[in-house]
Structure 1
Amino acid sequence: MTTTSLLAIAVTVLIALLLARPAGLYIAEVFNYERTGLDRWFGWLEKPVYALGGIRKENQSWKEYALALLLSNSVMILLVYLIFRFQGVLPLNPTRIASMEPTLAFNTAISFMTNTNLQHYSGESGLSYLSQMIGIIFMMFTAPASALAGAIAFIRALSGKPLGNFFVDMIRCITRILLPVSFVLAFVFVAMGVPQTLEPAAVAHTLEGATQEIARGPVASFLSIKEFGNNGGGFFGVNSAHPFENPSGFSNFLQIVLMLLLPASLPFTYGKMVGNRKQGRVLFASMVMMFVVLLGISLASENTGNPVINALGIQHAQGSMEGKEVRFGAAQSTLYSVVTTATETGAVNTMHDTLTPIGGLVALGNMMLNTVFGGVGAGFINVLMYAMIAVFLSGLMVGRTPEFLGKKIEGKEMKLIAVTLIISPLLILLPTAFALYAHPDTISNPGFHGLSQALYEFTSSAANNGSGFEGLGDATPFWNISTGIVMFLGRYFPVITMLAVAGSLAAKKSVPETAGTFRTDNILFGTVFIGAVLIVGALTFFPAVALGPIAEYLTLKP
């Protein structure tokens, strides 16, 4: 790896992190229910939507908020499922793509509504233009807006305020954050050469006299919200490795920055909304430290590559370019793989199945922990959950009732957090074991890497990431139904249980801070927070990764 490659990576990450603070403060202003200057700019667009939907700015209880989130998302899943099932007879289908098979439509509708964007089909041949725009792009706005709304409600409860109204929060997220930025970015991507058209596939005649159809479509509008909303699904089957979806080094840089922007900004939103900006900075610094360490491990592994034996029988290591996009090189491909799994986006510019065992382990670890930034909204709820675990453990060590932002964390909250911690490994490990037992024929690699393929698929589904080890034969009813269920439960179960925690804390009276209160805005807390994330994650998933990527790595060592 050259010095230039390292400098390019450092500049890309630094720019994204520098943008995080102003973006985070803006997000806090967006969700401020008091009248602000933003109402003048966006009120004209929101008022007709409120009137049409009969929405009032009335505060909801945590149960009402959770129910509104769950039911509205479920209705959207059903509507989009019907579009996929009947796309063959609906308009805007110039290439006459057939309607989706029922289990695939079930999987795809849940996938995009849960911000997972797992694709068991090839984008350009699986969906019509109508399905891409009315189905996929529609959910690419509503899915991150729903998750961010849930995170904002949780933060409000911690700050001692009412949770707010889900529909108001979701609409504000779309009109004031996602839509303006995506609208501008779509023009930027068009200027870079990304197609934006409703014309059918272009027909080209090669020098040999053959005819070739080149897929195209409304790609630029798809791409802008795909990255900014941490969605990640590809308009084309090879995602951001396709030159129409990622035409240059600058577009690759922009996509990485967009993936990082919202997740990295939420600690600053949190700090401002709870009135303790230093605490937000501590969480931000902790997440950055974990990200940098994991990125360094992955870069070192991909730069070294796997050991090989040359013609003379001498074993040596070489850098890994297998499955990498040659336009960007191993370094930028590795950076992309770490960013997309750290932010739970799922977009790829390289095939993750070809990562070295340690590079694949880093991608898996990002999703299993789901706190190294995490996806927009849902990931930050996970961060706050681990922050409460850190406070609880610290309280046990000193024999004091743990407090977080002036609210006592007691048995009820810890039981809900414990249930939330358990659901993720259950959704990952149990289906993986069943798949290995009942459907080994769909796994293309024998041995340790085959286990990693199945483990990665369910980890990606439960963490709402959507990337995959694509050697897996996942376009079957078993994988469609099983991952669809895992995606749905992995998305909504933690959000609902943590909203219950928020409701419980909001009902409690604040206790004054004393000399014995464990501070959550200093380096010590950041250290305990990182320790809690790593220890809980290691205890939960280490046996599984030991049988997969770690065992594969050890078998390749000299």
Structure 2
Amino acid sequence: MSDVGLNVLWAVAALAVVILILAAVHRPLGAYMAWVYTGPKNWRVERGIYKLSGVSADAEQTWRTYLRSVLIFSAGGLLLVYALQRMQPFLPASLGLPAVEEGLAFNTAASFVGNTNWQSYSPEQTLGLTVQMAGLAVQNFLSAAVGLAVAIALVRGLASKGSGTIGNAWVDITRGTVRLLLPIAAVGALLLVVAGVVQNLASPEAVSTVTGTVQNIPGGPVASQEAIKMLGTNGGGFFNANSAHPFENPNPFSSLVQILLVLIIPFSLPRTFGLMVGSPRQGRAILVVMAGLFITSYALLTWAELAANGAAPEAAGGAMEGKEQRFGIIGSTLFATTTTGTSTGAVNSMHDSYTALGGALPMLNMMLGEVAPGGVGSGLYGMLILAIVAVFVAGLLVGRTPEYLGKRIGRHEITLASLYLLVTPTLVLTGTALSFGIPALRESITGTSLLNDGNHGLSEVLYAFTSAANNNGSAFAGLTANTPWLNWALGLAILLGRFLPILLVLALAGKLAAQRPIPATAGTLPTHRPLFQGMLAGVTLLFTALTYFPVLALGPLAEGTI
């Protein structure tokens, strides 16, 4: 068999393994999550949490009350993570590391509370074990639980019979953490330990190298943090090299476990959605679009990296710069598609070293709104927003009644959906423009932050703001982001990119929850059939193309044609 045929076989086989496992998990996990958020009884530990926090578990909330609860909860997490970093020298297991500088501490706190986990620092040289465990790992659970809660609130709005309420944020966050994230993360951590991922509380160990110098080898509770880092679509690495580090991701089996941890909840949530609205086929329609976008992106990225031109890539069998030999191109592109198709900033290869067109695809995955399949919770509510827009567009084009699951999509609903879609492009393009348009900022960017100039330099900054505003967290590693401008600008982009969309989603959920469902008529567009699935995929791609194509043409697309 030729090298091309062998590569195609490996690419298909790797994808097939992931699909088969996800297919086996999809139905039971989707049904379990529906039970988690609709079951009438609270567990004893949950009742204890409600009692300690003064929460009435039986109180239903309007969207405004739900939003206030989410914002208060997240603000508390932001202050806690910031304080832990600033007080690091006084904490146990600080490993002798100093307090984190104010701007970097803000950026890191915003990043982990915003489910982004952007890291402008080298973790093993900056953060002690207490900050890693009590600050970052805890927020990996809680920020993921917030995303799940918001998605469930929107689903309740679509399923409501006119009650005007969308659940209880405190109950949803507690149940998501206790019943879903904690048990799956525990199993994931055990699998990673079996695979060889480090798990200890040891201080760095000094060893003598073959050259006679002394090197400190760090340890730590890596497997436990790695499990929720991936399961919660967070992405912040325990080490600077992230999932390319052999202590975090030692072999292909551990890489497969991490890929599955990222995908199992986002690809199972459509099943949860279908069950909660009383129509599983509606969930399957959403799943088909998510899967189609994911498979297409993976195929294009793998092709771009295998087909790299030049003597060195051809001798290596593809663009191997920046990739670990133990994963190869197939293992790297599958991982990159997984983490940028979701809001997971983890990397097992350096995206900055990808070919020009190959590097554009992870960026495009994020620009799509990370809906293929998206982050924990955020992927589902992002795709549902696009479905609402697609229904409205269909009504304009072919005269169908603009309604989705029995809810009319009127002026207020489409305004909220449209504003949702405009938030992240505005943050991305504004941040990139300011970085190059203001002389003082441009001097900081070109003089300190950029490793490359020209088209690739623009791509590095564009990728950074795309990653921050879409709450991803990965980066083109050639960018030095630990500067005053990028720490504060990216931190603000993370917070606005997380909580402005949440505000709009919850407002939309409230509008939908207040409506009584209307019966389907001859003018109702069926939203479970291939025609609508194609329209939904088309709206997703077309919106992205129109929004980002000009800046992509100046960055990766221009570089790819040189």
For 1:462 and 1:490, how far apart are their aligned partners in 2?
5
C-alpha deviation, 1:489, in angstroms: 0.3
Q: Which amino acid aligns with 1:481?
A: W
Matched, 1:420 2:420: yes
Partners of 2:192 and 2:257 within 8 A in 1: no
SS in 1 for 2:555: helix
CA distance in 1, matches of 2:121, 2:253: 28
3-state SS of paired residue (2:55): coil
> Shift in Å at residue 5 of structure 1?
4.6
Partner of 2:88: 87
Contact 1:353 1:360 survives alignment (8 Å): yes
Question: Residue 282 of structure 2 corresponds to which residue in structure 1?
Answer: 279
> 2:20 matched to 1:14?
yes
Aligned residue for 2:243? 240
For 2:65, the aligned partner's letter is E
Kept in 1: contact 2:150–2:505 (CA 8 A)? no
Within 5 A, what are the aligned runs for 1:314-463? Answer: 319-369=318-368, 370-437=370-437, 438=442, 439-441=445-447, 442-463=449-470
1:145-197: CA deviation from partner (whole Å, max 9, x where unpaired): 01100100110110016311000000000000011111222222222222222
Q: Map 1:29-108 to 2 at 5 A.
A: 29-35=35-41, 43-57=43-57, 58-93=59-94, 95-108=95-108
The equivalent residue for 1:479 is 486
* Kept in 1: contact 2:86–2:100 (CA 8 A): yes
Say which of 523, 545, 562 aligns to 1:516.
523
Partner residue in 1 for 2:168: 165
Q: Is the 8 A contact 1:305 1:317 kept in 2?
A: no
Counterpart for residue 304 of structure 2:
301
Q: Tell me how far apart the structure 1 counterparts of residues 298 and 99 of structure 2 sit (CA, whole Å).
A: 41
- Mapped to 2, the partners of 1:44 and 1:493 lie a distance apart of 34
Q: Residues 112-158 of structure 1, C-alpha deviation per residue, up to 9 Å, x if partnerless?
A: 01110000011111111010001001100100001100100110110
The residue type paired with residue 466 of structure 1 is: G
* Cα offset, 1:207, TM superposition: 3.7
Alignment of 1:189-228 (within 5 A): 189-228=192-231
- How far apart are the structure 2 equivalents of 1:307 and 1:548? 21
Q: CA deviation at 1:408?
A: 0.6
Amino acid aligned to 2:73: S
State the 1:244 CA deviation: 0.7
Query: Which range moves more in the overlay, 300-309 or 483-492?
Result: 300-309
Partner of 1:229: 232
Query: Any conservation in 2 of the 1:307–1:317 contact (CA below 8 Å)?
Result: no
Structure 2 match to 1:140: 140
CA contact (8 A) 2:262 2:339 kept: yes
CA distance in 2, matches of 1:306, 1:87: 48
Q: For the structure 1 residues 88 and 309, does the alpha-carbon distance in structure 2 shift closer, same or farther, using more than 3 Å as the test? A: closer
Give the CA deviation at 1:378: 1.4
Whichever residue aligns with residue 359 of structure 1, its letter is G
Counterpart of 2:540? 533
- Contact 1:62/1:500 (<8 A) preserved: yes
Map of 1:262 onto structure 2: 265
Distance change >3 Å, CA 364–CA 24, structure 1 → 2 = same
Bigger mean CA offset, 417-426 vs 517-526: 417-426
RMSD across aligned positions (CA): 1.6
- 2:509 corresponds to which residue? 502
Give distance in 1, aligned partners of 2:27 and 2:39. Answer: 21
CA distance in 1, matches of 2:387, 2:45: 37
Name the CA distance, whole Å, in 2 between partners of 1:540 and 1:207: 53
Taking the aligned partners of 2:97 and 2:266, their CA distance within structure 1 comes to 36
Q: 1:409-456 CA distances to partner (integer Å, 9 max, x unpaired)?
A: 100111111211221111000110111232322221111111110000
- The answer on whether the counterparts of 1:306 and 1:318 sit within 8 Å (CA) in structure 2 is no
Per-residue deviation, 1:202: 1.4
| Correspondence for 2:552 | 545
| 8 Å Cα contact 2:401-2:524 kept in structure 1 | no
Could you tell me how far apart the structure 1 residues matched to 2:10 and 2:134 are?
A: 42
Give TM-score, length-normalised by structure 2: 0.94
Query: Aligned residues: percent identity?
Result: 44
Separation in 2, partners of 1:273, 1:486: 33
The answer as to whether partners of 1:77 and 1:109 remain within 8 angstroms in 2 is yes
Q: Structure 2 regions of 5+ residues with no counterpart? A: none
Q: How many residues align?
A: 544
2:290 is the counterpart of 1:290: no
SS at match of 1:31: helix
Distance 1:176 1:190, change over 3 A: same
Unpaired runs of 5+ residues, structure 1, are none
Runs of 4+ off more than 6 Å: none
The answer to which of 184-193 and 389-398 deviates more is 184-193
Q: Which amino acid aligns with 1:500?
A: A
Q: Give the Cα–Cα distance (whole angstroms) in 1 for the partners of residues 169 and 342 of structure 2.
A: 23
Contact 1:407–1:508 (Cα < 8 Å) also in 2: yes
Partners of 1:169 and 1:457 in 2: CA distance:
32
**Which residue identity is paired with 1:54?**
G
Residue type of the alignment partner of 2:394: S
Instruction: Give the corresponding residue for 1:489.
Output: 496
Give CA-to-partner distance per residue, 1:470-491, whole Å, 9 cap, x none: 1011111111000000000000
Which amino acid in the other structure matches residue 405 of structure 1? L
In 2, Cα distance between equivalents of 1:472 and 1:496: 31
SS of residue matched to 1:203: strand
TM-score computed with the length of structure 1 as normaliser: 0.95
Aligned-pair distance for 1:387?
A: 0.1
Tell me the distance in 1 between the aligned counterparts of 2:30 and 2:183.
16
- Aligned-partner Cα distance in 2 for 1:546–1:496: 32
C-alpha contact 1:287 1:373 (8 A) present in aligned 2: yes
Which string of whole-angstrom CA distances, capped at 9 and with x for unpartnered residues, describes residues 245-267 of structure 1? 01111101110111111111111
| Residues in 1 aligned to 2:251 and 2:119: alpha-carbon distance in whole angstroms | 24
Q: Distance in 1 between matches of 2:323 and 2:541?
A: 29
Partner of 2:129: 129
Q: CA deviation at 1:500?
A: 0.6
Amino acid at match of 1:476: T
